[in-house]
Amino acid sequence: MPLRSALVRFAIAGAAGALVASAAVTPATASEGSQGSPQRQAPRLYKGVVTANRLLLRDAPNRGGKVVRVAFRDDVVTVYCRTTGQKVDGDSRWYLLRDGAWAYGAARYIRDLGPAPRPC
């Protein structure tokens, strides 16, 4: 039994050490606000305007993705980020849109209103 007791103590000490290590790292990764509580900064969103008469928005960045919804010419859309996918008229950039439903739209048919979206 003394060997088992030593193993149990060793396991408890290891778990306690891991807990202390994770507690020591956590404050370094969180930014503190005026109240001393961690604050999360919302990711920047970008805007674009649809240039196609009818733009099919899909669940994947390719023409084979399921159509989630449709956007029309001059609709202003909220872009979360950009990624690469199937080429559309020579352009492989796709935007992940965040308007009601998450969906991908071919960047070829969305004109940026401001800076280009960040990569996904």
pLDDT digits (tens, 9 = 90+) for 55-96: 999 999 999 999 999 999 999 999 999 999 999 999 999 999
Distances (CA, A) of 61 to 15, 43, 117: 44, 21, 15
DSSP-derived pairing of the beta strands 110-113 and 76-88: unpaired
Distances (CA, A) of 101 to 13, 31, 40, 104, 107: 48, 30, 23, 10, 17
Q: Quote the tokens at residue 19.
A: 């807990």
What pLDDT, on the 0 to 100 scale, is given for residue 3? 46
What pLDDT, on the 0 to 100 scale, is given for residue 58? 97
Can you tell me whether residue 16 is helix, strand or coil? helix
Q: Quote the tokens at residue 116.
A: 């280009």
The model's pTM is 0.65
Q: Is 117 a residue whose pLDDT tops 80?
A: yes
